[in-house]
Chains A and B, each alone.
Chain A
Amino acid sequence: MQSDNTVYRRRQLLSSQIDLSKFNDKNFEKATEDEKRQQDVMGESTTFLKDGLRRLRKNPLAMGSICVLLLIVAIIIVAPHICPYSYSQIITVNGVRDKRATNLGPMEFSKLEMDYMEETGEKLFPHLLGTDSLGRDYFIRVIYGTRVSLSVGIVAAIMVLIIGLIYGSISGYFGGMVDMIMMRIVDVIYSLPDMLIIILLSVVLKETLQPAIAGTALAKLGTNMISIFIVFALLYWVGMARLIRGQILSIKNNEYVLAAKAIGTKDGRILRKHILPNCLSVIIITTALQVPSAIFTESYLSFLGLGVSAPLTSLGSLANDARGAMQSYPIRLVVPAIVICLIVLALNLLGDGLRDAFDSKLN
């Protein structure tokens, strides 16, 4: 790189600092290859994702949460295939509905089942958590409840992410008048009382959705579940939109965005390639924290009787049903409550871990 030419020019330029004419070549000694190599500081080249995951792996709380979540997911996927009972079916022995199989304790069998086992010598699958007041296996109901709650949480978080991301990026990137109008809309939605709107919407949507979804696959989900999704899509994206707008406002002032404009990059590409990857950490974290909040909302909506419709159940409605018999059968309240706590706690801790791992500026 250094030719005689450059040395000469440098002398001119650096004259204010060092008078190079006082030195000659003998004053300097060339660095050996070995010495040059010592100057190389070569850390391993890592990507944003790899770097974040490496830091996440060092966080025991976050890794523990991932394990708990994976365990829960594995159980709710596998359990219905092993357990012969159904969440909506009253215990039936040999084709006969067992009317005395209600309110069984954990691992208990009803009289009819014991007679049947004695008669045939066949072993029946135990009721791990007993049965409910209608004689349905409680374990499988908790499994299905967890399935519903988790999927509500994840679907709602994804919907909030998509709407908030699009709305927030447009508002933040284009700024000015567009931003003004879009943010005032957000303010209006923000100022509405959540619970009131949710309850009103659930009631109204129930009426209007019923005929619309009759006979489709959605009918199985029930109108309440769909109205929960709609409520989330309508109300809960505003926080995400504000957050992403704020991020974009600060990132779009970076010189690399200006450089991209000078190159002639189109707005869409600038957003995708330059701005959004730089607020990825915030997006990941907020989405992860959105899941437990959605599960919570669904749980208390179900608790109020506005959640999924029977016979489908969710953790919230299981807890609600168990409320009446809280003193006689506390386990029916404790189990869904524990599962909610586990999921929400694990997701919150994971969200915190993700923030610690990804939010620290590249270092």
Chain B
Amino acid sequence: MSSEYLLEVEHLKQYFPVQQGFKKIPLKAVDDISFAIKPGETLGLVGESGCGKTTVGRSLLRLYQPTAGKITFEGEVLFDSENKIDVDMLPYRKKMQMVFQDPYSSLNPRMTVEDIIGEPLDVHHLYSTKAERREKVLSLMETVGLNAEHAMRYAHEFSGGQRQRIGIARALAVNPKFIVCDEAVSALDVSIQAQVINMFEELQEKLGVAYLFIAHDLLVVHHISDRIAVMYLGHMMEIADADELNDNPLHPYTLSLLSAVPIPDPETARHSKRIILEGDVPSPMHMPSGCPFRTRCRYATEKCAAEMPELTDRGNGHLVACWNR
């Protein structure tokens, strides 16, 4: 493949062994996922709770050891299960960072803000004097809109939005090219969400970082993303440009997700029809055969039970994994 992409993920699998009696059964959190992200682009990743969005983000950063697949970053292979490539991640930690979901548990309660933001600088030896470290921390705090006098405070003295800014400043400290935003705004209330999202966009304009923006709120994802990927039970169902996906969703699962988005106008809302999915999400330990969505899909046929559909291009880079649409 060409090096037009910053990050390429091919056939990523992440299984977790689960002890059941004496047997170990793999829990297929992520099963054969491929996607790519261009420099400075935002890829939104949506899906319901427990579908493996967070696991994708963490496997990318190699916080988990992937079961199989290939991860390429800036043309260099970080992990390849077939050719047994598994590089030391330390130099790449400077280029790939993560913003976490819960601003309350993602900051160490025993550290001051200065130490939290300064830690990546310590680890990667990015300063020579104490004064330089402080200067860098303060400029990072300014970037994310925190006051300099907050530097000596502890995380519990801040509000949720401010804490998330601290987490973002920590991720920015190493000047990364790619940031995984793992439900970075889900735990915040709506007005703070807007502030933080605007900040993400401003940072992208200024620093040219690429985001993998994981969320379950389609409105937010549509707002910030260039492209959106839809996941269900560890599988990729649909990838398309944000507007294309919004206007012309193909996969039945995407359709049902979009129909669940609240409509601001009550008049329109009254006339719109919600697609309500029946049944529960199957357990990732006992996946249905073929397409994982077939158990809840109204278009399901025998072919769906027999074989998992591949992601196929339906024009304009709109990829869908479905036999019927």
Residues of A within 8 A of B (CB): 1, 5-6, 9-10, 12-17, 19, 43, 45, 47-48, 254-256, 258-266, 269, 273-274, 277-278, 280, 362
Contact = CB atoms under 8 A, between A and B. Distances in A.
A261 B98 CA distance: 10
Interface in B153-178: 153-154, 156-157, 167, 170, 174
Interface stretch (B6-14, B70-78, B100-108): B100-108
B123 A255 contact: no
18 contacts: A12-B223, A13-B193, A13-B223, A17-B264, A45-B157, A255-B101, A255-B105, A259-B107, A259-B167, A259-B170, A260-B108, A262-B61, A262-B93, A263-B170, A269-B123, A273-B111, A278-B109, A278-B110
Interface string B140-160: 000001000000111011000
B107 A256 contact: yes
A1 B195 contact: yes
B264 A16 contact: yes
Nearest to B96: A262
Interface of B: 58, 61, 63, 89-90, 93-94, 97-98, 100-102, 105-111, 119-120, 123-124, 145, 152-154, 156-157, 167, 170, 174, 190-191, 193-195, 197-198, 201, 219-220, 223, 262-264
Nearest to A255: B106
Contact of A6 (B106, B110, B198): B198
B266 to A, nearest CB: 11
A278 B108 CA distance: 8
Contacts of A263: 93, 97, 119-120, 123, 170, 174
Contacts of B111: 273-274, 277
A218 to B, nearest CB: 39
The 4 closest A-B pairs by CB, nearest first: A264-B93, A255-B106, A277-B110, A256-B108
Nearest to A254: B105
B100 A265 contact: no
A260 B119 contact: yes
A49 B197 CA distance: 36
B93 A45 contact: no
A138 B41 CA distance: 84
Contacts of A48: 110
Nearest to B220: A13
A256 B106 contact: yes
A45 B263 CA distance: 44
Residue from A1, A6, A13 whose CB has the most chain B CB atoms within 10 Å: A13
A104 B250 CA distance: 103
Given A256-B105, A264-B90, A17 B190 contact: yes
B264 A45 contact: no
Contacts of B105: 254-256
- Label chain A's interface by main secondary structure: helix
Chain A CB count within 10 A is highest, among B89, B93, B124, B198, for B198
A33 to B, nearest CB: 16
Given A12-B223, A264-B89, A259 B61 contact: no
Given A15-B264, A262-B97, A1 B123 contact: no
Given A45-B153, A255-B105, A14 B170 contact: no
Given A1-B145, A48-B110, A261 B63 contact: yes
Given A13-B219, A13-B220, A274 B108 contact: yes
B174 A14 contact: no
Contacts of B174: 263
A263 to B, nearest CB: 5
Contacts of A1: 145, 195
A179 to B, nearest CB: 15
Nearest to A46: B154
Nearest to A12: B223
Nearest to B99: A259
Contact of B190 (A14, A45, A256, A262): A14
Nearest to A259: B106
B94 A264 contact: yes
Given A16-B219, A265-B119, A278-B109, A259 B98 contact: yes
> Interface centre among B61, B108, B120, B152, by most A CB within 10 Å?
B108
Nearest to A263: B120
A220 B111 CA distance: 46
Contacts of A261: 63
Given A17-B190, A274-B108, A278-B108, A264 B219 contact: no
Contacts of B193: 13
A6 B119 CA distance: 31
A359 to B, nearest CB: 14
Contacts of A259: 98, 100, 106-107, 167, 170
A9 B194 contact: yes
A258 B123 CA distance: 15
Nearest to B105: A255
A13 to B, nearest CB: 5
A258 B100 contact: yes
